[in-house]
Structures are given as C-alpha cells and as structure tokens.
Amino acid sequence: MADTVKTGISGLDAMLYGGIPEGNQTIVAGGPGAGKTLLSFEFLYRNAKMGIPGVFFALEENPKRVVENAKKAFKEFTDIDDLIAKKLLLVDGEDPSARLHEGADPSSYEFGKVVSDIEALVTSIGAKRIVIDSISLLSIIISNPIAYRRAMLALVSNLRRINVTSLLVSEIANPERSKLTFKPEFFIFDGIVNMYQSGEEEKRITAMEIIKMRGSKHSNSTAPYEITPSGFKVYASEELESE
C-alpha cells in the first residue's frame, strides 16, 4: 500500500480512510458553483500548513483572482500570503485559449508547454502537491477526441514522473447525481471525487462522493458538505462512526 496524503479537509479524509494514496492523480468534478476550485485550493493550503509545498496551476482564472476568491470564501485562512511568501504555496498559470484570440488554429496549441510550465513551477519550490484548474479547458482547445485522450495520458504520465500528488479540476455536464455521466478520459486517472448539487438555488443541496480511488479503500457513501469561513465541512458517516 502506498503512503497516504492527507487532504486536511474535515470529513473528506474520513471518506478516504486516511487520505489519497501518494502519487495518485485525482479528478475533482462538479458543476459550476460546486466549489471544485475552493476544495482544491484548501487541499494545497492544508498541506502547506503541514510544511509540504504545493502549486496551483490556473488555466481558466487569473492567479491573483484565485487567491482573492479563496480569501473571500475562507476568511479564517489569514496566513495565505505568508505561505506564499515562504514558497509553500505557489499560485501561477496561463491562459492557453489566448492563442485563439490571436487567430491561431486550435490544433496548433502545444500541449507540451503546459506540462513543461508545470514541471518548472514544481521544481522551483520542490512541490509535492499540485492542482490544475481546469482540464476542461484543454478539452475545448484540443478538440480531436483521440488527441485529447493522448494528451491526458501524457499529462498523467508526466505528473507521475515528477512524483507529485495532484487534483485536476473538471466540469461535469449535469451536477445532479441521478444524471451523472463520465467522460471517457476520467478512467485514465487514479481517483474521481464528484461534487453534486440539487434543488433550487435558494435551497440547493450539495454533496460529494468518492467514485474511485486506486490503491485504497474509500467510502461508498455520498456525504453532504458546506463551505465555511474555516474551510470545507464534509459530513461523512465514517467520521461520525469513529467518534
């Protein structure tokens, strides 16, 4: 069994029976507003607090806005800037879709540049954790399904080669569990964490589920969660049973 990496997120580690197997590459999937980016940011934040460096690589959002949004959501995370200054947390990225505005052919996009940029950032701070937000943008840019699947295989291979444990954010077509469908490339990755939403906007219910986690036992239950100023609260039945 591989060593486990704690997410540090209340309830989620209970669902994972201790954490994510070290070296696993895990999809965090959900609809808009589910909190995928915030959950992934908290994973890096909690690990940085444990002294383990991490990189947040933003493909869709300006890196500064990622930090600003995290500060607004997690008002009790008052040491984010300090962790960044200590190089325990690095938020960076690029917008590969900018090439499209320059009139470039989408098929000319060099996926390898994303991989090399990530590797350079990981090396710069000795990172052991990484978040990529989001791989959904890459599926738009690399429109050929076969080329995209090959790109995902290459991404997973390179993340394993540089010896990191990663979360990769992805959009799902429908946020309700009853209408769940999987993209073919999801099966390339070691783990899948799905975040669901149901009900009306003012009465929206949120819950998450561990669909798979290669190399580790995990919960088969769906657990409600909420986003609080002190971080995610996942109400896992496994956590209640251990009390």
Rounded CA separation 27/190 (Å): 8
Rounded CA separation 33/1 (Å): 35
Rounded CA separation 133/40 (Å): 9
DSSP for 81-113 reads HHHHHTTSEEEEE--TTHHHHTT--GGG--HHH
213-229 pLDDT, tens digit each:
999 999 999 999 999 99
122-132 pLDDT, tens digit each:
999 999 999 99
Query: Average pLDDT for residues 89-112, to the nearest whole number?
Result: 64
pTM: 0.90
Is 141 in a helix, a strand, or coil? helix
Rounded CA separation 230/49 (Å): 14
122-160 pLDDT, tens digit each:
999 999 999 999 888 888 778 788 888 888 999 999 999
The identity of residue 94, as a single letter, is E
pLDDT of residue 108: 43
Query: Which domains are present in the chain?
Result: 4-242 (3.40.50.300)
